[in-house]
Amino acid sequence: MIKRILITLILFVSTAVVYAQQYTPKNLIGHWREAKRKQVNIFFLTDSTGAWVANDGFVHNKMNYTAKADKDIIELKFTTQVNTKHPRYGHPQIKFLNDSVFLIRMMWGIPKDADITNKKVTVFVKVKNELPGTEMRLPSYKDLLGQWLSKFKKDTGKVKLNFIDSNRVIRKTATSVTLMDYVANFTTQPLTIDFYVKGELINQAFLLFQTRNDLRIEYFDPGRRKDHFTVFGQNNSFTREKRFADYVSEF
């Protein structure tokens, strides 16, 4: 009788341990930071929305996602094209090692028995204590201020955008200097921006902060702006002439 009770107790404890190790998409909710370089942050805000965020709270990309558990793997489906009718999705896998650590692999499945030493996965740890001054925030015109240099192959720096204030920008090329007004909507992703010369709309565009110091801009003729970046459109990459870290070091 005692032996039977002990066997039952062991089975009960084993079942409880196995159950305790079953993670669900709800375990994603919260702030996660890449463990090695400590520069990439993922916020899972709700069971369907999140954001990719810099250490200082600067939001690079909002995202929509779905997630489902498949044994010990969380199958994630996410998009940063949140304002697009037909968005493209990424399909990474996530595996929890414990409540505070997960592995993620963006392109392929997570190898069997992978741990934090596996070079094919990226390790994220949960941030439980937020530091003051790191609250999430969307970009604003202040993040645009200053001069940006084009990054197209050998033409680096031949086109310059100098955002003077909240509504004026100077565009410089090898042959011209143009003062323009701009109107930007920072609530959309990518943000929309319209350029005017002497009151006439000359270009509509998308602008996306890829990092604090790198922009992607695509121009469209007036009235022709789509709801997403295109592959073969007038895409331009710009880098900040003076990196954000340089500004910080001066204070």
- pLDDT for 80-110, tens place per residue? 999 899 999 999 999 999 999 999 998 889 9
**DSSP state letters, 179-244:** EEEEEEETTSSSEEEEEEETTEEEEEEEEEEEETTEEEEEEE-TT---SS--SSSEEEEEEESS-H
State pLDDT tens for residues 2-27: 544 443 334 343 333 444 468 999 99
134 is a domain residue: no
Residue 61: predicted pLDDT? 93
240 is a domain residue: yes
85-94 long-range Cβ contacts below 8 angstroms, 24+ apart:
85/227, 87/228, 94/28, 94/67
What average pLDDT does the segment 216-237 reach? 90
Compute the distance between CA of residue 210 and CA of residue 17 in angstroms, rounded to an integer.
43
245 is a domain residue: yes
Q: pTM, whole model, 2 decimals?
A: 0.79
State pLDDT tens for residues 152-179: 766 656 899 999 999 999 999 989 999 9
Residue 209: predicted pLDDT? 93
Residue 154: predicted pLDDT? 60
Q: What is the CATH number of the domain that holds 217?
A: 2.40.128.570
76 is a domain residue: yes
Question: b vs e for 202-227, b when ≥16 Cβ sit within 10 Å of the residue's Cβ?
Answer: ebbbbbbbeebbbbbbbbbeeeebee
State the residue range of the domain holding 28: 2-126
Residue 248 in 3-state DSSP?
Answer: helix
Q: Residue 69 corresponds to which tokens in the numbers above?
A: 């558990």
Residues 50 and 103 in one domain: yes
Phi-psi region of 213 (alpha: psi -120 to 50; beta: other; left: phi over 0): alpha
131 is a domain residue: no
The number of domains in the chain is: 2
Q: Which of 103, 126, 149 is the last residue of a domain?
A: 126
Instruction: Name which residue leads in pLDDT, 62 or 250.
Output: 62
30 is a domain residue: yes
133 is a domain residue: no
